[in-house]
C-alpha cells in the first residue's frame, strides 16, 4: 500500500532532500526536529514539524522509541531514517513493523546481518564475490600475530561491528599486530560495545569504490553505477565521484555484477551500497562491506543516471517495487561531489559552529547544491558539521572538474570557515587532475602542504 504520510527522522540537508522527494510523489511529510532545529529549512518546508526532544541528539534524534511514538501520534504510515543517526540500527525498523509503519530501508534482520562485517563477508563469499585475503574472528593478540604472519604484512585490523574508521589499525609486523589488537579492540568496545576483530591484507595505494544498489526484497536488484570515494581523511570521505575513471569497462561490469549478485542472493530491499577495495596495480577489487541505507554521496549516482534514488526508496517501501529495469538506466558523463563542512581545515579540521552571514551559492549548467543553509542560518554545535554538498556534472571528468572549480569560486560563504578552500586545492592538484589518487593520498600529499600554506 502506497505511503500517504511520511515521517522524516533526520535533520539537515538529508531531511530537506527527503521532504522534497516525498512531496514530488504527493506524499504528506512530518519532520522530527530537536529544540535546536525548530526553524530549520526542513521544518519550514514539511507539512508539519514535531519537536522530539532537546538539542542533544541522544535525547531526540537517537531515541528510537521516541521517534516511532512521534510518527504514530502524527498519523504517519511511513518513516524515512535518512543516513546516520538511527538509519542502520535494526531497532528502528523493528519498532516500525510493530506499529504498521513502512520503514524506508532494509528489513531489520538484514541490517543486523550486514552490520556485522564478518557475517557480511561470509555472505559475500557465498555469493562468489571477491574478498580481501583475511581472517575469521581474532580472539587474542597472539591470534593477531599468527594471522598477520599468515596473510603477510601490512595488514589491517578491523572491528566487525565498526564503521567510520573506528576500531581500525594498520600493522606492519608481528609486534604491531599484537599492540594493534589491544588498541583496535578497545576502540571497538568504546564505539560499538563490541570488541570483535578480524584482519585483512592492507593495500597501501588502494581506491575505495562502491556500487549504488536498489532491491525490491524479492531477489530483483538494480545498480546505478559505481562511485570512487578515495579522497578520505581518517577513513572519512571528503570528495566522491562517479564513475571510477581508473577502472576499465570490463572490470567495471564485473564489479557491478558482483554487487548485484550479493544483494540478490540475500533478497536485499531498498537502497544499499556495496563497498569495495580496488587494487589498481593488480586490477582487482575486493568486497569490504554493505551500507544498508542511502549514502551521503548518492547525488553523484543520480547525476549520471538521471534517476531520483530517494523517490525510488519511498516507492519500494510503499510496496510498489522497482519502477525501472536495468536496461532503462543509462549512465552518462561524470559527476563529482564535495562535502562542505563548517570546519577549519588549517586548524586540524576544527568544527566551526556559528551563524552564516552570507550565503550566495553558484549556479550554472551541471551544478547542483544539496543544502539546508541560507544567509542568517545558525550552525548548531551539537551535530555533524556538514552544511551542504556541491555537485558538478560534466561531459567527462575534466569537464566536471572545471565546472566544480568555477562553482567554488562563485560560492560566497561568510560567517564561518568551511572546507571549500581545501577542496579547491584538492581538485586542482595535478595528482587529482591526472587521476593519480588513492585512499591515503590526501593525508600523505595534500594536507601537509595545505597546512604549511595556511600557516
How many Å apart are CA 393 and CA 402, to the nearest integer? Answer: 10
Active-site residue identified among 233, 252, 269, 293: 293
How many Å apart are CA 326 and CA 286, to the nearest integer? Answer: 23
How many Å apart are CA 267 and CA 218, to the nearest integer? Answer: 5
Q: Return phi, psi of residue 297, to 5°.
A: -90, 15
Q: What's the maximum distance between 2 C-alpha atoms anywhere in the chain? A: 60
DSSP secondary structure letters along 225-286: EEEEEEEEETTEEEEEEES-TTS-HHHHHHHHHHHHHHHHHTT-EEEEEEEEEEETTTTEEE
Catalytic site residue 293? yes
Straight-line distance from the first to the last Cα atom of the chain, in angstroms, rounded to the nearest whole number:
59
Which of 13, 53, 37 is CA-nearest to residue 378? 37
Which of 278, 303, 306, 272 is CA-nearest to residue 290? 272
Sorted by sequence, the CB contacts under 8 Å of residue 192 that are 6+ apart come out as: 159, 161, 162, 166, 167
C-alpha cell at 329: 538506466
Burial of 412 (0-12, 13-18, 19+ CB in 10 A): exposed
Grid cell 550552525 is found at 379
Cβ distance 8 to 42 under 8 Å? yes
H/E stretch holding 370 reads: strand 367-371
Grid cell 597472539 is found at 142
Q: What is the DSSP letter of 294?
A: -
Residues classed as catalytic: 293
Amino acid at each position: 500500500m502506497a505511503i500517504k504520510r511520511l515521517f522524516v527522522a533526520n535533520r539537515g540537508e538529508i531531511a530537506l532532500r527527503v521532504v522534497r522527494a516525498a512531496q514530488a510523489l504527493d506524499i504528506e511529510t512530518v519532520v522530527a526536529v530537536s529544540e535546536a532545529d525548530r526553524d530549520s529549512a526542513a521544518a519550514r518546508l514539511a507539512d508539519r514539524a514535531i519537536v522530539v526532544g532537546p538539542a542533544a541528539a541522544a535525547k531526540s534524534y537517537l531515541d528510537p522509541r521516541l521517534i516511532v511514538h512521534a510518527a504514530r501520534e502524527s498519523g504517519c504510515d511511513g518513516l524515512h531514517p535518512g543516513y546516520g543517526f538511527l538509519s542502520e540500527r535494526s531497532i528502528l525498523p523493528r519498532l516500525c513493523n510493530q506499529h504498521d509503519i513502512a520503514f524506508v530501508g532494509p528489513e531489520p534482520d538484514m541490517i543486523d546481518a550486514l552490520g556485522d562485517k564478518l557475517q557480511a563477508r561470509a555472505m559475500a563469499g557465498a555469493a562468489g564475490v571477491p574478498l580481501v585475503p583475511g581472517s575469521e574472528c581474532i580472539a587474542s593478540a597472539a591470534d593477531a600475530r599468527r594471522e598477520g604472519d599468515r596473510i603477510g604484512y601490512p595488514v589491517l585490523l578491523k572491528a566487525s561491528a565498526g564503521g567510520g574508521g573506528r576500531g581500525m589499525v594498520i600493522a606492519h609486523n608481528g609486534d604491531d599486530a599484537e599492540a594493534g589488537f589491544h588498541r583496535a579492540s578497545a576502540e571497538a568496545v568504546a564505539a560499538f560495545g563490541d570488541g570483535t576483530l578480524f584482519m585483512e591484507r592492507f593495500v597501501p595505494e588502494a581506491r575505495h569504490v562502491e556500487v549504488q544498489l536498489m532491491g525490491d526484497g524479492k531477489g530483483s536488484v538494480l545498480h546505478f553505477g559505481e562511485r570512487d570515494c578515495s579522497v578520505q581523511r581518517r577513513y572519512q570521505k571528503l570528495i566522491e565521484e562517479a564513475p571510477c575513471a581508473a577502472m576499465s569497462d570490463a572490470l567495471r561490469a564485473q564489479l557491478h555484477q558482483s554487487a548485484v549478485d550479493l544483494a540478490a542472493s540475500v533478497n536485499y530491499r531498498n537502497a544499499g551500497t556495496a563497498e569495495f577495495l580496488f587494487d589498481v596495480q593488480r586490477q582487482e577489487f575486493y568486497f569490504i562491506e554493505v551500507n544498508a541505507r542511502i549514502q551521503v554521496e548518492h547525488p553523484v549516482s543520480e547525476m549520471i543516471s538521471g534517476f531520483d534514488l530517494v523517490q525510488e526508496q519511498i516507492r519500494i517501501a510503499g510496496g510498489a517495487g522497482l519502477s525501472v529495469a536495468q536496461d532503462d538506466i543509462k549512465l552518462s558523463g561524470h559527476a563529482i561531489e564535495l562535502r562542505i563542512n563548517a570546519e577549519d581545515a588549517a586548524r586540524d579540521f576544527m568544527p566551526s559552529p556559528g551563524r552564516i552571514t552570507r550565503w550566495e551559492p553558484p549556479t550554472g549548467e551541471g551544478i547542483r547544491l544539496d543544502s539546508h543553509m541560507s544567509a542568517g542560518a545558525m550552525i548548531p554545535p551539537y551535530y555533524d558539521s556538514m552544511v551542504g554538498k556541491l555537485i558538478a556534472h560534466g561531459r567527462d571528468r575534466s569537464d566536471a572538474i572545471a565546472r566544480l572549480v568555477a562553482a567554488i569560486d562563485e560560492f560566497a560563504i561568510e560567517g564561518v570557515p568551511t572546507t571549500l578552500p581545501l577542496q579547491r586545492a584538492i581538485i586542482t592538484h595535478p595528482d587529482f587532475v591526472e587521476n593519480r589518487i588513492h585512499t591515503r593520498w590526501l593525508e600523505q600529499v595534500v594536507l601537509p602542504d595545505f597546512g604549511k600554506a595556511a600557516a
